[in-house]
Structure 1
Amino acid sequence: MSWNRWYGIKSYLRSTLWVVPFIALLFYVMVIQVVDWINARFIVIPLWPWGTPGAQRILETIVTLTLTFIVFTFGSLLVAIQVASGQLSPRIIATALLRDNVIRTTVGIFIFTLLFSVGVLGRLEAEAPFFLVGIAGILGFASLIAFLYLIDHAARLLRPVSIVQRIGDLGCDVIEKVYPDLFDGHDSHTDSRRTINLPDRTIPHRGKSGVILAVNLKGLVKEAQRFGLVIELPHFVGSFLESGEPLFRLYGDIAKIEERRFPQNVAIGPERTIERDPTFAFRIIVDIAIKALSKAINDPTTAVLAVDQLNRLLRKVGERRLHGDQAFDKSGQLRLILQTPNWEDFVQLAVREIRFYGAENFQVARRLRAMLENLLKTLPEARHPTLRTELDLLADAVKTIHVLPADLALASIADPQGLGAGLSHRV
């Protein structure tokens, strides 16, 4: 199986809800056979104390309850997800909600309990098997507890603070995965956002139009070394790629290349995913912030919560050594040119739109200033120029919007809470 197909399968499985219930079904097929065998050979008390009618009523009650739990869970959860995505961002559905292990595991418990109870119900004869009915009763009780826990968990999960916190956690994990090395004072980033010369050959994208999800850098370097080439990938991870658009530009001897091997190292899907795309975490949180700042919603506190997570993500990126636009083989020969975000890209993505839409709001202006000043204090000196540029732009925007001296003074205070804990108020 090619790398891009395998990556697509893994990415799909991470963001689907049906996989755990399907595993529960397969697990039931094995478990019911095992416990039936144990019950027939080793259980000393084989009879259910209340007889077959009592066991049947208990099992039917468990089946009814689990069916109700499943219908209620899926129905209410879908409605809640739609409401939350409408208020925050549609990108949170696949990125945060469908990846929640509590939801997936709970639904798996419901499915397993339902199937097990139906299986035991079908095995009832003149004498009810105590062991099997007892296990079904325990599973039914566990399903009831899981259902109550799921209601509480879902209520907490769908709050804005929980959503942005979850996206922030995912973003930090991706940043650590994509940028494993700590910042040593300089990045290996170079200005390769251009072709080195006219390519000897261009390989177009021959599949369906979609978004670049991930790139197998090691695989491309290996292929380039194998054929003695330099490969250029003129697109960022997360960029939309149309069918027929150039996917690779090749430089070198192209006489013996196998064209089909190159596209296998690029995973393409219908929408961006967060696994190998650190900027996507920033994009989702910024979307939540600017939607909260719209006149129709007018929720600056949610925007402040979003800036809290952006502060966290920017610090994480600032502490990491960012990738260069060039990749080399083991001998030091240039083999791959690709588009990667630099420090300025991350900072501008995190700050510019929120400043544009939120500078007129005291909470947002003060929280942005506190974030930038905090990063100036905690990140290495090499990261400071971009942060100072954004701080100056924020000051200019605040001066332009707030014409009253008192308002300007209030909006110019750095405040980690937005409005209520300004640094000037501290003793």
Structure 2
Amino acid sequence: MGWNRWYSLKSYVKSSLWLVPFIALPLYVVAIRIAYLFKQWLIWIEPWPWGVAGSQRLLETIITMTLTFVVFTFGSLLVAIQIAGGQLTPRIIATTLLSDNAIRFTVGLFIFTLLFATGTLARLETDTDRAIVGIPVLLGFLSIAAFLYLIDYAARLLRPVSIVLRVSEEGRAVIEDVYPTMATEEADATATDPRPSARPDKVILYRGRPAIIVAINKNALLTLAEKTQSVVELVPRIGDFVASGEPLFRLYGSRFPEESVLKTMIAFGPERTLEQDATFAFRIIVDIAIKALSKAINDPTTAVLAIDQLQRLLCFVGKRNLTRETILNQSGELRVICRTPDWEDFVKLTFSEIRLYGAENFQIARRLRAVLEYGLQVLPDFRRPALEAELALLDRRLAQLYEFPEDLELAQTADSQGLGGSTPSTLRFLPGKPSVSQ
């Protein structure tokens, strides 16, 4: 199995809601045999308070109860996921909701309890086996507790603040993986186009169904390029859409890796994922913000919650070295080129659409200014030009929108709460004030 197929399988397993409940099937087959094999070592309450008829009724009740839990959980959860996806963004369904372990393992417990109670009931004979009947009874109590926990957990999980926080956490981990080193002014100043000046010696085109590049095996690409002493350039970026016939690789050198092997180093999918895509977390949170700002929903407070996490991510990525496009061998020779987003990409993605759709709202205008002024304070000096340009665009946009001077002054005041903070932002940018760059 090639790396791309293995990666796709792993991603499917991580985002599949049904897999853990399905594993409960073979687990039950093993568990009930072990239980009957070692039943003499199982100690329960004696005497057993129910006879054969009572034990049968108890097991039937557990079966009915767990079956109801399963039906209710899947039915209500799917409806809730669709509603949350419609209100926030559909991109949260696969990236956060379907891959939640608490939901999957709780449903797995329901299935296991249902099967164990059914198997015990089928084996119940004239004498009540206290040890074996006690196991599904205990599992039934655990299922009741797990069901009550799941209701509370799902209600908390589907809140906008929980969704944006989870996406922000995953985005931070991806940024740390893609950009492992801290930013320095020297590295930023020496950043150039990594593509060789010569024309490529070979171009490999993509052949297949239209898809999104979701991941790259960079280490394997480096190994292949090193073996052939060539330079491998991946033309699209992670998260880009590619159609059949479009350039996928540009190769430089006299010897090249095999085309079929190169293509197994790229994982494709129907939509972007958070695993290696550094900007996708920004994209999801921005989508949540601008949907909340739509006239149909008109929920600027949710947009402010999204901007809170955008500030966190933007300041985190602004302190990283964003020039990791080239991969060198141990001798310092260029071997692989994989383009990654730069600082301007992150800044425009964070502010442009929210400014366009939300500047007419006081909360959004004030919160965006607070983010920009905070970034000007805490980020290195060489990150300031892009932020200052966005601040100027915000001022020009506000000047177009607000006719009354009082409204314009209110909109141009930084406020970390959007509207209602007791005082303006205490981290407003002052020219000449040193920034915190560590």
Cα deviation, 1:357-396, whole Å, max 9, x if unaligned, reads 1111100010011111111112222222211111111111
Counterpart secondary structure, 2:295:
coil
**Length, aligned pairs only:** 425
Counterpart secondary structure, 1:278:
coil
Counterpart position of 1:135: 135
Counterpart secondary structure, 2:232:
strand
| C-alpha spacing 1:127/1:421, structure 2 compared with 1 (3 Å) | same
CA distance in 2, matches of 1:205, 1:61: 57
Residues 160-171 of structure 1 mapped to structure 2, 5 A cutoff: 160-171=160-171
Q: Please say if 1:203 is aligned against 2:201.
A: no
Q: Please say if 1:397 is aligned against 2:367.
A: no
Residues 210-249 of structure 1 mapped to structure 2, 5 A cutoff: 210-249=211-250
CA distance in 2, matches of 1:35, 1:277: 47
Counterpart position of 2:435: none
Counterpart position of 2:175: 175
- Per-residue deviation at 1:336? 1.6
CA distance in 2, matches of 1:391, 1:147: 49
Cα deviation, 1:78-122, whole Å, max 9, x if unaligned, reads 111111111110001011111211111111111111111111111
CA distance in 2, matches of 1:415, 1:397: 18
CA distance in 2, matches of 1:244, 1:61: 60
CA distance in 2, matches of 1:274, 1:345: 17
| C-alpha spacing 1:200/1:114, structure 2 compared with 1 (3 Å) | same
Q: Please say if 1:69 is aligned against 2:102.
A: no
Q: Give me the TM-score of the superposition, normalised by structure 2.
A: 0.93
Counterpart secondary structure, 1:219:
helix
Does the 8 Å CA contact 2:209/2:243 hold for their aligned counterparts?
yes
Cα deviation, 1:7-37, whole Å, max 9, x if unaligned, reads 1111111111012112222222221111111
CA distance in 2, matches of 1:425, 1:344: 25
CA distance in 1, matches of 2:78, 2:194: 42
Does the 8 Å CA contact 2:214/2:277 hold for their aligned counterparts?
yes
Counterpart position of 2:78: 78
Does the 8 Å CA contact 1:192/1:338 hold for their aligned counterparts?
no
CA distance in 2, matches of 1:422, 1:60: 60
Cα deviation, 1:124-147, whole Å, max 9, x if unaligned, reads 011121111111111001101111
- Per-residue deviation at 1:187? 4.1
Counterpart position of 2:263: 263
Paired AA for residue 117 in structure 1:
A
- Per-residue deviation at 1:196? 3.0
Does the 8 Å CA contact 1:413/1:422 hold for their aligned counterparts?
no
Counterpart position of 2:431: none
Greater alpha carbon shift after TM alignment, 165-174 vs 185-194: 185-194
- Per-residue deviation at 1:3? 1.5
- Per-residue deviation at 1:179? 2.0
Paired AA for residue 82 in structure 2:
Q
CA distance in 1, matches of 2:6, 2:299: 41
- Per-residue deviation at 1:191? 3.8
Cα deviation, 1:47-103, whole Å, max 9, x if unaligned, reads 743111111111110010010000000101111111111111000101111121111
Counterpart secondary structure, 2:233:
strand
CA distance in 2, matches of 1:185, 1:192: 17
CA distance in 1, matches of 2:46, 2:187: 70
- Per-residue deviation at 1:208? 2.2
Does the 8 Å CA contact 2:211/2:243 hold for their aligned counterparts?
yes
Counterpart secondary structure, 1:122:
helix
| C-alpha spacing 1:131/1:205, structure 2 compared with 1 (3 Å) | same
Q: Please say if 1:272 is aligned against 2:287.
A: no
CA distance in 1, matches of 2:363, 2:192: 37
Unaligned residue ranges in structure 1 (runs of 5+): none
- Per-residue deviation at 1:263? 0.8
CA distance in 2, matches of 1:243, 1:122: 56
Counterpart secondary structure, 2:102:
helix
- Per-residue deviation at 1:46? 8.7
Counterpart position of 1:406: 406
Unaligned residue ranges in structure 2 (runs of 5+): 427-438
| C-alpha spacing 1:395/1:422, structure 2 compared with 1 (3 Å) | farther
Counterpart position of 1:5: 5
Counterpart position of 1:368: 368
Paired AA for residue 84 in structure 2:
A
- Per-residue deviation at 1:43? 5.4
| C-alpha spacing 1:194/1:296, structure 2 compared with 1 (3 Å) | farther
- Per-residue deviation at 1:308? 0.5
Cα deviation, 1:179-201, whole Å, max 9, x if unaligned, reads 22222345468343766332211
CA distance in 2, matches of 1:144, 1:354: 44
Residues 7-406 of structure 1 mapped to structure 2, 5 A cutoff: 7-40=7-40, 48-187=48-187, 190-192=191-193, 196-254=197-255, 257-406=257-406
Paired AA for residue 388 in structure 1:
E
CA distance in 2, matches of 1:24, 1:309: 37
Greater alpha carbon shift after TM alignment, 179-188 vs 110-119: 179-188
